[in-house]
C-alpha cells in the first residue's frame, strides 16, 4: 500500500522564478496543486505613506523603484496625474521625448520578460540574447539621464534633460536592428516544439474572467478584449501615430507570449514615426511654477505600461505634498488571478503561469 498525503510547499520568497521576493504556499497532491496562497509584502516600502511627506518632484524617484523594469512609464503616470490636476500644457518636444523613452522602455521591458520567462521554462540562451539587445536601450537611457534602471527622467511639465547630440539618430539606428533581431527570436523560440508543449493551452481563461479580475495589458488582450489605453483614452501623443493592438484568442500563455513579441514590433513602429516627426527644436520643460502646488481636488489617471494599466490617484488639498497618493499597480492586480489559475495544475506549470503574468515584485508590493 502506498500512503499518500498532502504536501505543503513554500515557493519563495527567495526563488528565482518569482523574480523578486514573492512567496506562494502550495498544497500539493502528488504533483498536482490543490490550493495556492500567494503571500506578498516582502518588498513593501510604504511608498504611498512616504509620498504624503514629499513634494511631487521628490516622489518621482520613488516611482522608479515601483516598476523598476519599466521606470519610465511609472515616472510618466505620476507627472501626468499632477499635470492633469494643474491643467499644465507640455511642450511638444518634451512630449516626444517622453513618448520615445516610454516606447523604448516597453521594448526593453518585454525583452526582459522574454528572456527571463524562457529562462524559467528552461531555455538558457534566449536570456543572453534578450539582455544583449536590451543593453542598447539601457545605454541610450544612460546617455540621456545617467542611470540604467532608476531614471528619474521626467518632471512635472516636461523632461529633465533634452536629447544629447546624435541621440535621436542612435534611436533611429536601433529600430531596424531590433526588427531583424525579432525575426531571429521567432526563429529561435516561437516554433520550438518543446516550448509549445510547455505553454500552449496552459493558464487559460476567458474574456469575462479577465474582466472580472481586472486584468490589463497582455493578460487581458490575450482573451481578445481590445483594450489598450493608448487607443482607448489616448494620452501623450499616441493619437498621432499608427499602430495596432495585437489580440489573442485562446487566452493562454502562448497568446500572451505572442502578444508581447508583437507589441515590441508595434512599439518599434511607433518609434519609427516618432523619430521622423521629432521636432528639431523647442523646450523640454513647460511653464511650471517653482513650487508645484496643485489646486485642491482629486484626479485619477491611468496609462498603458508594459504590464497593463498603471494608474495614479491623487487627492490634493492644495499643498505641495499630496494628501493621499495611490498607485494602481498592474502587477498587483494581475497577480490576483494566480490562485485561481493554479488549482489543478502541476508544479511545472506554476512557473509557466506565474511567468506568463509578467509581474515585477517592486510594483506588487509598492
Q: Which residues bind another protein (CB under 8 A)?
A: 40-41, 44, 46, 48-49, 84-85, 87, 211-214, 216, 225, 227, 232-233, 287-291, 293, 295, 297-302, 309, 311, 313, 315, 323-324, 326, 328, 332-333, 335-336, 365
Least Å from the CB of residue 299 to another protein: 4
Least Å from the CB of residue 169 to another protein: 32
Say if residues 53 and 32 touch (Cβ distance below 8 Å): no
Least Å from the CB of residue 359 to another protein: 13
Three-state DSSP class for residue 125? helix
Q: Which is nearer to another protein, 116 or 316 (CB)?
A: 316
Least Å from the CB of residue 39 to another protein: 9
Least Å from the CB of residue 342 to another protein: 15
38 phi, psi to nearest 5 deg? -75, 140
Question: CA–CA distance from 274 to each of 27, 221, 230, 332, 337 (Å)?
Answer: 50, 25, 15, 31, 36
Q: Which is nearer to another protein, 99 or 325 (CB)?
A: 325
Q: Which is nearer to another protein, 149 or 232 (CB)?
A: 232
Structure letter (DSSP) for residue 298: E
Question: CA–CA distance from 128 to each of 274, 308, 340 (Å)?
Answer: 29, 25, 33
In 179-188, which positions are buried (b, 16+ CB within 10 angstroms) versus exposed (e)? eebbeebeee
Least Å from the CB of residue 85 to another protein: 6
Q: Which is nearer to another protein, 100 or 325 (CB)?
A: 325
Q: Which is nearer to another protein, 196 or 286 (CB)?
A: 286
Least Å from the CB of residue 224 to another protein: 11
Q: Which is nearer to another protein, 44 or 148 (CB)?
A: 44
Sequential DSSP letters for 327-346 = EE-HHHHHHTTHHHHHTT-B
Largest CA distance in the chain: 80
Supply 355's cell numbers.
511567468
Say if residues 156 and 56 touch (Cβ distance below 8 Å): yes
Q: Report d(CA 54, CA 50) in Å as an integer.
A: 7
Three-state DSSP class for residue 302? strand
Sheet holding 297-305, edge to edge: 297-305, 308-316, 324-328
CA dihedral 162, 177, 244, 233 (to 10 degrees): -20
Least Å from the CB of residue 11 to another protein: 18
Supply 3's cell numbers.
500512503
Q: Which is nearer to another protein, 71 or 314 (CB)?
A: 314
Q: Which is nearer to another protein, 25 or 175 (CB)?
A: 25
Amino acid at each position: 500500500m502506498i500512503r499518500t498525503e498532502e504536501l505543503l510547499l513554500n515557493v519563495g520568497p527567495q526563488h528565482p522564478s518569482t523574480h523578486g521576493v514573492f512567496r506562494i504556499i502550495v498544497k500539493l497532491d502528488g504533483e498536482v496543486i490543490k490550493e495556492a496562497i500567494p503571500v506578498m509584502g516582502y518588498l513593501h516600502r510604504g511608498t504611498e505613506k512616504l509620498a504624503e511627506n514629499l513634494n511631487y518632484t521628490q516622489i518621482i524617484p520613488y516611482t522608479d523603484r515601483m516598476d523598476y523594469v519599466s521606470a519610465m512609464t511609472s515616472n510618466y503616470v505620476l507627472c501626468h496625474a499632477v499635470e492633469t490636476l494643474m491643467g499644465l500644457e507640455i511642450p511638444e518636444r518634451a512630449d516626444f521625448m517622453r513618448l520615445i523613452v516610454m516606447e523604448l522602455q516597453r521594448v526593453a521591458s518585454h525583452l526582459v520578460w522574454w528572456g527571463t520567462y524562457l529562462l524559467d521554462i528552461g531555455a538558457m540562451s534566449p536570456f543572453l540574447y534578450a539582455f544583449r539587445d536590451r543593453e542598447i536601450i539601457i545605454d541610450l537611457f544612460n546617455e540621456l539621464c545617467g542611470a540604467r534602471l532608476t531614471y528619474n527622467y521626467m518632471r512635472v511639465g516636461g523632461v529633465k534633460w533634452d536629447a544629447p547630440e546624435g541621440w535621436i539618430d542612435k534611436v533611429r539606428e536601433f529600430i531596424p536592428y531590433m526588427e531583424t533581431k525579432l525575426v531571429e527570436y521567432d526563429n529561435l523560440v516561437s516554433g520550438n516544439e518543446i516550448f509549445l508543449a510547455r505553454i500552449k493551452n496552459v493558464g487559460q481563461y476567458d474574456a469575462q474572467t479577465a474582466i472580472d479580475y481586472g486584468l490589463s495589458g497582455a493578460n487581458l488582450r490575450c482573451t481578445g478584449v481590445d483594450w489598450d489605453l493608448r487607443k482607448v483614452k489616448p494620452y501623450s501623443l499616441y493619437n498621432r501615430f499608427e499602430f495596432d493592438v495585437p489580440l489573442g484568442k485562446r487566452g493562454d500563455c502562448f497568446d500572451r507570449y505572442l502578444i508581447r513579441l508583437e507589441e515590441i514590433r508595434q512599439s518599434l513602429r511607433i518609434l519609427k514615426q516618432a523619430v521622423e516627426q521629432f521636432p528639431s527644436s523647442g523646450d523640454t520643460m513647460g511653464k511650471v511654477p517653482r513650487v508645484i502646488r496643485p489646486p485642491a481636488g482629486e484626479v485619477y489617471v491611468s496609462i498603458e505600461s508594459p504590464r497593463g494599466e498603471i494608474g495614479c490617484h491623487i487627492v490634493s488639498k492644495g499643498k505641495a505634498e499630496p494628501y493621499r497618493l495611490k498607485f494602481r499597480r498592474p502587477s498587483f492586480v494581475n497577480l490576483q488571478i494566480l490562485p485561481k489559475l493554479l488549482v489543478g495544475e502541476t508544479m511545472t506549470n506554476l512557473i509557466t503561469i506565474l511567468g506568463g503574468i509578467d509581474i515585477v515584485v517592486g510594483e506588487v508590493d509598492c
